[in-house]
Structure 1
Amino acid sequence: MQRDGTRTRNERSGAGTESSPAAGVHRSLRLTGLAGLACHLALVLWLVLRPLPVAWVYDANLTPLASLRSSTVWQVVGELLLLAPLGVLLPLAGGRIRAPWLPSFLRTTGVSALLATGLEFLSSWTPGHVLNVDHILFAVIGVVAAHLALVPGLRHLLREQRPREPRVSVPAVPSVTAVVRVATAAPTARPRAYAEPTPPAH
């Protein structure tokens, strides 16, 4: 391991440290997000895939917003809130409090769209459920709204409250040029001149 005078190469690159901006992964937040994500998906699977004892159902809807005429306000709110916690849980599971907002927003939206589509296709095989593209659309809108409303502010609070580790200053190693200058500028020690003993006077 080589030093350039003040820090090592690993310290400059931030590799291998959890608190460095390059890594930026908070382990406790990541574990909390993964646990919450698992619990929420288990609840969603139970709500979506359970059979419904209904006498009749609507036909499959592949036209966006076509089912609004036959839906009540509470049904629309329920579809918006079904996957809305993913807007916070997905970034929390990543554990990055210094991630840029646009890549985080795009990742969260893409993953939630894939999950909503998969859940909708799975539920269409369950008795009492039919394929409805509006369910996917409302679920993604709920995730986007929750992400934009909560995640940027929460990340800002975590960045402000997280204590920063103090930097350990390493004394700089003097360069060869400085040592040569000091050596040439210092006065050279001269041997003491001893006076020859004078002969005694007669």
Structure 2
Amino acid sequence: MQRQGSVGGSAVFRVRVTGGVLLVAHLAFVAWLMLRPLDVPWVMPANLRPFATVRADLALGGAEAVRRLGEDLALLAPLGVLLPLAHGRPGASTLASLARTVAAGAMVSLAIALLQTGVPGRVVDVDTLLLNTLGVALVHLAAVPAVRSRLRRRAGSREGTAVRQEEQAQGRTPTIPRVGIAPWSDVLPPSSP
């Protein structure tokens, strides 16, 4: 059984490393995309009123509104899967994982917004922060609980298979045939009156 635990440990390590590499790659892409200076003739003022930009985007109508809102939802959405993957705790509770992931996504979004204040052509928009965080939460809720339950089922079936294989390798447990107890009359000498 000890060997089985080390195999599971190396799988968790591989998952964490893969998640960490993908997380760093995604954050590098987001930083490159959002912290590049823009060469624009004029810049909108910063939006610090929640849902003002969302209302303005919805006023544009149909496809344009979906595109603009979808961009903000999708920018950090992969963090909803990558953060739990990099953390690598398949046994963690869903609510705790959601809270940690959403908080980390909000902090990343806030860091990007604060860094954008020093980049020419970029402005702070509180709605972007809200939509980025919502995207992280939606992707986490859509993917992580299903993947965790699948991994738990797979781990349970592997555990059962390992136990069966170990039993087959060792053979059946030997049993001792039951010996009947002789009646007392056969054991004791006959008594004399």
TM (norm. structure 2) is: 0.72
**Which consecutive unaligned segments of at least 5 residues does structure 2 have?**
58-63, 168-193
Partner of 1:129: 122
| 1:64–1:134 Cα contact (<8 Å) kept | yes
Partner of 2:83: 90
- Provide the C-alpha distance between the structure 2 equivalents of 1:126 and 1:79, rounded to a whole number of angstroms: 19
Count of aligned residue pairs for this structure pair: 154
The one of 74, 82, 97 equivalent to 1:81 is: 74
Larger radius of gyration: 1
Q: What pairs with 1:27-106 in structure 2 (closer than 5 Å)?
A: 27-71=13-57, 72-73=64-65, 74-106=67-99
The one of 162, 166, 176 equivalent to 2:163 is: 166
Partner of 2:134: 141
**Residue 107 of structure 1, CA deviation:** 0.5
**Residue 18 of structure 1, CA deviation:** 5.6
**Which consecutive unaligned segments of at least 5 residues does structure 1 have?**
1-10, 12-16, 170-202
- Provide the C-alpha distance between the structure 1 equivalents of 2:100 and 2:55, rounded to a whole number of angstroms: 32
- Provide the C-alpha distance between the structure 2 equivalents of 1:151 and 1:66, rounded to a whole number of angstroms: 31
The one of 98, 103, 110 equivalent to 1:110 is: 103
**Residue 113 of structure 1, CA deviation:** 0.7
- Provide the C-alpha distance between the structure 2 equivalents of 1:68 and 1:124, rounded to a whole number of angstroms: 20
Which AA in structure 2 matches 1:144? A
- Is the helix fraction higher in 1 or 2? 2
Shift in alpha-carbon separation, 1:59–1:100, aligned structure 2, 3 A: same
**Residue 19 of structure 1, CA deviation:** 7.4
Task: Please provide the CA RMSD for this pair.
Answer: 2.5
**Residue 29 of structure 1, CA deviation:** 1.1
Answer yes or no: is 1:151 the counterpart of 2:144: yes
**Residue 69 of structure 1, CA deviation:** 3.7
Greater than 6 Å deviation, 4+ residue runs: none
Partner of 1:199: none
Q: Give % identity.
A: 41
- Provide the C-alpha distance between the structure 2 equivalents of 1:108 and 1:18, rounded to a whole number of angstroms: 28
- Provide the C-alpha distance between the structure 2 equivalents of 1:158 and 1:18, rounded to a whole number of angstroms: 17
TM (norm. structure 1) is: 0.69
- Provide the C-alpha distance between the structure 2 equivalents of 1:44 and 1:147, rounded to a whole number of angstroms: 18
**Residue 166 of structure 1, CA deviation:** 3.0
- Provide the C-alpha distance between the structure 2 equivalents of 1:62 and 1:160, rounded to a whole number of angstroms: 46
Which AA in structure 2 matches 1:156? S
